[in-house]
Amino acid sequence: MTGISVPAGQARGDRAISVVLAGGGTAGHIEPAMAVADALTALEPNVRITALGTARGLETRLVPQRGYDLELITPVPLPRKLSADLLRLPMRVRRAVRETRAVFEAVDADVVIGFGGYVALPAYLAARRRVPVVVHEANASAGWANKVGARVATRVLSAVPDPGLGHVDVVGVPVREAITSLDRSALRAEARAHFGFADDARVLLVFGGSQGAQSLNRAVSGAAEGLAAAGISVLHAHGPKNTLDLRAPRPGDPPYVAVPYLERMDLAYAAADLAVCRSGAMTVAEVSAVGLPAVYVPLPIGNGEQRLNALPVVEAGGGLVVDDASLTPQFVAGTVAGLLNDPDRLATMTAAAALAGHPDAARRVAEVALDVARGTGSRR
């Protein structure tokens, strides 16, 4: 575990509320935690925030970049099959819980907010009968760590009504303020100029997460000719390790802009009329928060949670769900292009996507956590 440090503005001399965030490992756990950290700071400027993490997680880079204190504990991954790692699990859990309790004592924790993942389980166990817990579940099907946390939590918050945790309060998925405050209409002209699109272009945004998605890449790049014939411009983030096999554009074709990674997702969202994307919890949260209709293509592995993540937005009319195997070049050139060329339907989907989003999720989680820390948050 790292030494306990106190960032500027987070000293406890004035008995400021101390919040511990447990959400390390993947961006899907870290980004909601950082959005809540920003919301806590906005609501309570003197709040002391400490993030728990492990040396193997993305939090070692993402948390310090956001200016928050990070404390490292022993990771507690659950082995999927009988192995030596499984036999060592109890020892790792005990060590991680001991390290986490030391952090709680050092920062005088008033509340723990858990987001699931490797870091959350020891936080929940360490907090039991010591520090009140708020659990947030971003996925439509809860993971095992949050199932444990829900048993000891004062409040359980979620993105959807029934993630498998009993009674929950639906607040959505916390998203960073730069996204939730985005005015797509106001930024559209600047965004389209940035990527080289005409003001009146019909723009399809394609992305498959930070590493891209090969099936999305193949389907959309394979439809390039049909999209161009339909007058559709494309902004395609294919992933830093992937390449696209694109035909040479013909004179007069609308632009097909292919990039490894989008540094400015705000401009990408503002430039687009429709997205083709995966349906991880954070992707669905961001896309709906900005009011962008989407064709969601759930990852075809796992327990089906990505399909469940998208269903609330789709049922509200803000998108479509398409199986990975059904996303073909023919589907993109036909159905997707047809949707982009149907302004009435696209406008209806855009309005529905905006209504289905939860742009205030980070603030709502922060408010609940502060109430619990003050002893005013009601127990389940």
Backbone angles phi, psi at 110, to 5 degrees: -100, -25
Reading the block at residue 297, the tokens are 């293509």
Conformational region of residue 45, where left means phi above 0, alpha means psi within -120 to 50, and beta covers everything else: alpha
Q: Is 16 helix (H, G, I), strand (E, B) or coil?
A: coil
- Tell me if 283 is assigned to a ligand binding site: no
- Tell me if 18 is assigned to a ligand binding site: no
- Tell me if 28 is assigned to a ligand binding site: yes
- Tell me if 26 is assigned to a ligand binding site: yes
Residues 204, 336: contact at Cβ < 8 Å?
yes
CA distance 168 to 161: 7
Backbone angles phi, psi at 345, to 5 degrees: -65, -40
The one-letter amino acid code at 236 reads H
- Tell me if 27 is assigned to a ligand binding site: yes
The one-letter amino acid code at 186 reads A
Residues counted in the chain: 380
Q: Cα dist. 87→39, 124, 125, 173, 281 in Å?
A: 40, 21, 19, 35, 32
CA distance 203 to 231: 9
- Tell me if 303 is assigned to a ligand binding site: no
Enumerate residues 6+ apart whose C-beta is below 8 A from 331.
219, 322
Residues 334, 340: contact at Cβ < 8 Å?
no
- The angle at the Cα of 77, spanning 18 to 298, to the nearest 5 degrees, equals 95
Reading the block at residue 315, the tokens are 């049922």
Enumerate residues 6+ apart whose C-beta is below 8 A from 158.
136, 137, 138, 142, 165, 168, 169, 170, 171
Reading the block at residue 251, the tokens are 């004179």
CA distance 79 to 86: 6
Annotated binding-site positions for UDP-N-acetyl-alpha-D-glucosamine? 26-28, 139, 176, 210, 306
Annotated binding-site positions? 26-28, 139, 176, 210, 306
